[in-house]
A and B are shown apart, each in its own frame.
Chain A
C-alpha cells in the first residue's frame, strides 16, 4: 500500500490539484454543505424509523432522501479529491480508517434496509409504531453518520502518529 500511496502523491495529477490555490478550501466548504444535506435528510428518516414522529407516514419521511443522497455524492467527490491531493495524510491516519469504516457500515446498513426490510415501509400507515428491526436500522444509521462526522473532524487530532 505504501507504494501506491507514494506513487499517487507523486503523480502530476495529485501535485497539480494540491497546488491549485483555493481548491482545498472550496472542497472543504462543499464537504460541509454536503454533510448538512446528508444528516438533515437521513436524520429525519432515521428518527422516523426509530419510532419518533409516528404520525408522519414513513414513505413521506423518505421523500427527503434523494437530497441526502445528493449530499453524500458531493462528499464522496470532494472526499476523493482530498485523498488524491494528500494520500499519505489519510492512508496513515487511524481516524481516517475509522471514518471509512463507519461510511461502509452506514452503506451496508442502508443496503440491508433497502433489500430486505424496505418493502414493509409502504405497509406502515401514519401513527403506526415501527418494528424493532426498523429501530435498529435507524439507530445504526444515525450513529454511523455522526461517527463519520466525528472522525472526519478529529482527523488532525486522532491517530496521526505524531
Chain B
C-alpha cells in the first residue's frame, strides 16, 4: 500500500519534476512552518518562564494562532513528504521518534494554553515552569529527530 502511495501520479510528479515548485518548495514550506510553530512555542514558553513579563497574558495567547497556522502548513507538507518516500520512512525508527516527540510536545503546549493564562492579569504560576521547559525540550528534540531523518 505504501508502495502504491509512493508510485501515485502526484508523488511521481513531486519527486520527478524539475520544477522548483515541486519537491523543493514543499520541503521549504515544511521548514518555514517549523520556524513558525517552534518560534511561536519558543516565545510563549519564554513568557511562561518570566521573559517579557510586561506582555499581557491575553495578548501572548494570540501567538497560538501562529502556532496552529504553522502546524497546518507542516501537517500538509509533512503528509506529502512522507508520501513521496513512504516505504523508506515507514521503516525509519527516527521518523517515529519524531512523531512521538511532536505528539508529546503538542500535549504539553495545549496544557500550557489551558493552565498558563489564568488568572488573566497575574503572572503565570510557578507550576507552569516545568511545562515550559518540557515544551522547549520536546520541540527541540522533534527538530533534531527530523533533521536526522536524512542520516539515520
Chain A residues engaging chain B, CB cutoff 8 angstroms = 25, 28-29, 32-33, 35-37, 39-41, 43-44, 53, 55-57, 59-61, 63-64, 67, 126, 146, 149-150, 153-154, 156-158
Contacts and interface: CB of A to CB of B under 8 A. Distances in A.
B88 interface: no
Contact of B147 (A25, A39, A56, A64): A25
B43 A60 contact: no
Q: State the 10 A-B residue pairs at the shortest beta-carbon distance, nearest first.
A: A40-B39, A60-B54, A40-B42, A63-B52, A36-B38, A157-B24, A39-B35, A39-B39, A153-B28, A29-B144
A43 B39 contact: yes
Contacts of B36: 39, 43
Contacts of B55: 56-57, 60-61, 63
Q: Among A36, A39, A149, find the residue whose CB has the most chain B CB atoms closer than 10 A.
A: A36
5 contacts: A40-B40, A55-B59, A64-B46, A150-B32, A157-B24
Overall SS of chain A's interface: helix
B92 to A, nearest CB: 14
Interface of B: 20, 24, 27-28, 31-32, 34-36, 38-43, 46, 51-56, 59, 62-63, 66, 139-140, 143-144, 146-148, 150-151
B150 A53 contact: no
B38 A40 contact: yes
A29 B148 contact: yes
B54 A57 contact: yes
Overall SS of chain B's interface: helix
Contacts of B66: 43
A35 B63 CA distance: 18
B56 A56 contact: yes
Q: Among B54, B55, B139, find the residue whose CB has the most chain A CB atoms closer than 10 A.
A: B55
A67 B51 CA distance: 10
Given A63-B51, A63-B55, 14 more contacts: A29-B148, A33-B143, A36-B35, A40-B41, A41-B42, A59-B54, A60-B53, A64-B51, A67-B51, A126-B56, A149-B32, A150-B32, A157-B20, A158-B20
B151 A40 contact: no
Q: Among B38, B43, B46, B56, find the residue whose CB has the most chain A CB atoms closer than 10 A.
A: B43
Contact of A56 (B41, B59, B140, B150): B59
Contacts of A61: 52, 55
Given A32-B147, A63-B54, A44 B63 contact: yes
B42 A67 contact: yes
A40 to B, nearest CB: 3
Nearest to A35: B35
